[in-house]
Amino acid sequence: MASPRRFVALNAQARSWRMPPGLSHRKFQGNFQNGTESAPLINLGEIADEIGVGTVRAKILTNCFTELGANASPIDVNEYSINGSHGLPDGQTGPQDFYDYSVLMQETDEQLGSYRPDLIIAPVDIARGAISHFKSESSAYSTAVSAVEPDTAACLFKSLEIGESTTITTTHTIMTELRKRYLPTGSWDILKQGIDASLTVSDFEAHQAVLYLQSHGIQAGPAGAASLAALKRLTISDRKALRLTRNSTVVIFCPMTSDATYDTPHDVSADDPILITQTLVRINSASPTLGSVAGPGETVVAQYIASWLEHRDITTHWIESVKGRPSVVGVIRGSGRDGAKSLMLNGHIDTVTLMGYENDPLSGKIINGKLHGRGSADMKSGVAAAMVALANVKRLELNGVKLGGDVIFTAVADEESGSIGTESILRAGWRADAAIVSEPTGLQIFHAHKGFCDIEVVVHGVAAHGSRPDLGVDAIINAGYFLSELGKLVKQIHQGIAGAGRDMTLGTANVHASTISGGEEISSYPAQCKVFMEWRTIPGETKDFVESKMRQLIADVAKVVPGFKADFRIIMSRPPMATASNHPFVELVTNVVGDVLGSKATLAGAPYWTDCALLAEAGIVPLLVAIDLPGYNPFPELVSMGAASPLLLYTVVTAAAAHMSNVLRPGANKWSSQPQTIRKYDWDPSRRALTDALVAKQKALCLLRMALSDEDVVGNDIVLTAVIMLVTADMIDSGKHDSQAYVNAMGWLLSQAPLMTGVGEMLKDFIISDCYIHYVFALTFMDQVPKSLSDLDKAFASSAMHYAARNSFICCPAEIL
């Protein structure tokens, strides 16, 4: 699981830092009461219990700041600088106002009464005011102050990371009034020394906080709810860094802003590629240039991806050379050590038209283990996998492991049509030593693919009335002669005696006529006939090569057809791509894929075109790789159900991997077999599977422990299934027969079957069928058998056995049961 960005704690001196005389809050001017208005503090007891502090008080502000704090009192920054520094961003000249919240802080002090504020969380402008008040020379408090910003507009957070005030590029956020590219002049010196922590929140977290506040009668927008969202994000280690205890008092400032109307944002917290794929599929990104109904393009899906990356503190770039067709680049820089290579993960985020898709093209539903929706295979699943891979590199970095080279993720627009996205990122200068494009490949590694030339041929005739053959020349008939000659050429190409011959990987080129049109009316000789054709090229067939072949083809027709005239133009062309099969990168990827599959990976060529060719032209070594393992998991239907629950998913992986370890171990067909000693460096899929089982089991047990500590979920179906599956995994792993108690429990569950209700019929079916298969085997093989199952309805029993045959690790046919 990748670790999303949550919190950055600053130096320990921030708690004891005090405002220098030159910035004493007594010099602040203006009347707070004439601008911002506030209500009494609101006690949020539920949040305090959730976070584990003594009390949480919310300060609701109306008529508060907008972009820079409008309606609060302006201060001239020229009076209030430290060491002459205003934190002015590059290119900015002249003074800029910041705003006085001293009266607000005094009022907060009074309303707290005997409570001492241990932590204040507020948007950046108000946090600066809190520092000025609670960290003044005369203050008796030891109050921590934390600032909150949107993930996608985290100017303070990024300034603190690099150690100086910086101007940033922001992307979309529903917290519009917190979207700042740079800090107000004069704030940086105060913030860098007096702020205790910088927190950023996602749009979805702000939206959840909005709903919570609304449930308590507080009508705040996302910017106003951001402070609450930040508080709810604090982890145990965050709270420790801020010295929060069960006796602490937290004050959050919630300005009532004007951004209350917005589209519900997508959750960016998921690290599971299945869940991410579902979200991507549910966002319509159909191309606006394809189909009878123009799609919306990639803007919304690009916003989601950018937000997802920023949520994990991954450096993100927005590239939009054509309006409405954006691409997103995420990059994690390596150490740059000598010899280190960089890797690009490329995937397109547009889809073909939604028209003609059976059922709901945006459902993202998982049915019988398959995820449905436009783009699920081509190629939002591949994009999701690349996102998770990049996040895992970030996790390594956070754990102190820094790769030598850069890892660059490019989510590009318009691959289905004109490749605007990949061309744009290349023009922007993004390069890598090698690239993986995760198009669907059916478990093969494509190191080559064909190119193409789209060609328009215009055969010319002479228009005349149908009664005047002496004047007219029939363009359509002459086009027939052309097509006849084209057919001969196609046959020669397929025989390898024309074109560039036969490529060892891709075979021969292929050429076909696509459409034909001509004539105006039935009683006239047509003046022209247009033929559109496509030439799928192989290495050695350039655009110039195709043009020369087309000229020769037209000349050959003209030799045998009197008066034949035609011309052509290549509307669009893309080159083929071929990476040598013995290239070190190909060999590396082949070995890794082979390790994952447990068998030698297949190298092949793709008959279609991809953006790989553009990457290759830019000097990047590209490969097409997509991994999918249909039929490899003995719990196919449970896998899809586990997508929504990490506990269930890790439990399924535990049992499935334990099963695969038994199946794959040497001599698995012998009752007494044990994993045998193998030579160093030999591939042992049994041991690899057992390792996977143990790792997954550890994660599942941790999640199960958390679930069992929550009385609201102890009895739900997911927890029950996880317990059953973990016991099943232990039985698989041990092979022991001391399972009487387990079988007795299965019998009890079966007796309760008609009474069971839960989160889903599929999950219930799995629980019952898995119990049933073990119970039947117990009746057959155990010395002390539990009571008979004769009381169960035979129709139910038959159904359960057939379901068990599909979903149990034993994989026993229903007829035998």
pLDDT at position 544 is 95
Query: Residue 566: phi, psi to the nearest 5?
Result: -155, 155
Find, among 441, 211, 194, 202, the residue nearest to 307 by Cα.
Answer: 202
The confidence band for 598, taking pLDDT boundaries of 50, 70 and 90, is confident
Structure tokens at 755: 């009474």
Q: How far is the C-alpha of 263 from the C-alpha of 364, rounded, in Å?
A: 19
């303070």: which residue's tokens?
A: 156
* 453-567: CATH number: 3.30.70.360
409: β partners: 330, 345
Q: How far apart are the first and last CA of the chain?
A: 40
Superfamily for the 273-430 domain? Zn peptidases (3.40.630.10)
What would the 3-class secondary structure string for 308-326 be? Answer: HHHCCCCEEEEECCCCCCC
**pTM beyond cutoff 0.75:** no
- Encode pLDDT of 677-691 as tens digits: 333 333 456 676 777
* pLDDT for 507 beyond 70: yes
Least confident range from 41-50, 181-190, 803-812: namely 803-812
For the chain, what is the mean pLDDT?
79
- Encode pLDDT of 443-488 as tens digits: 889 999 999 999 999 999 999 999 999 899 999 999 999 999 999 9
Top-confidence residue, 76 or 257: 257
Query: Is CATH 3.40.50.1100 what the domain over 7-255 is classified as, yes or no?
Result: yes
For residues 145-149, average pLDDT: 94
- Encode pLDDT of 341-394 as tens digits: 999 999 999 999 998 888 899 999 988 888 999 999 999 999 999 999 999 999
3-class SS of residue 725:
helix
Q: How far is the C-alpha of 581 from the C-alpha of 604, rounded, in Å?
A: 9
pLDDT at position 328 is 98
pLDDT at position 770 is 66
3-class SS of residue 343:
strand
């898995």: which residue's tokens?
A: 770
pLDDT at position 801 is 60
Residues contacting residue 165 through CB under 8 Å, at least 6 positions apart: 87, 88, 89, 159, 182, 183, 188
* pLDDT for 219 beyond 60: yes
Q: How far is the C-alpha of 436 from the C-alpha of 216, rounded, in Å?
A: 49
Least confident range from 419-423, 687-691, 813-817: namely 813-817
529: β partners: 459, 518
The confidence band for 810, taking pLDDT boundaries of 50, 70 and 90, is very low
Top-confidence residue, 138 or 132: 132
Structure tokens at 142: 């030891």
Where do the domains of the chain lie?
7-255, 273-430, 433-450+576-630, 453-567, 636-807
- Encode pLDDT of 686-716 as tens digits: 676 777 777 777 777 777 777 776 655 545 6
The confidence band for 14, taking pLDDT boundaries of 50, 70 and 90, is low
pLDDT at position 641 is 53
Structure tokens at 520: 């105006």
Q: How far is the C-alpha of 608 from the C-alpha of 124, rounded, in Å?
A: 51
The confidence band for 16, taking pLDDT boundaries of 50, 70 and 90, is low
Q: How far is the C-alpha of 301 from the C-alpha of 412, rounded, in Å?
A: 11
- Encode pLDDT of 20-71 as tens digits: 554 443 233 333 333 455 567 888 888 888 888 889 988 888 655 433 333 3
The confidence band for 179, taking pLDDT boundaries of 50, 70 and 90, is very high
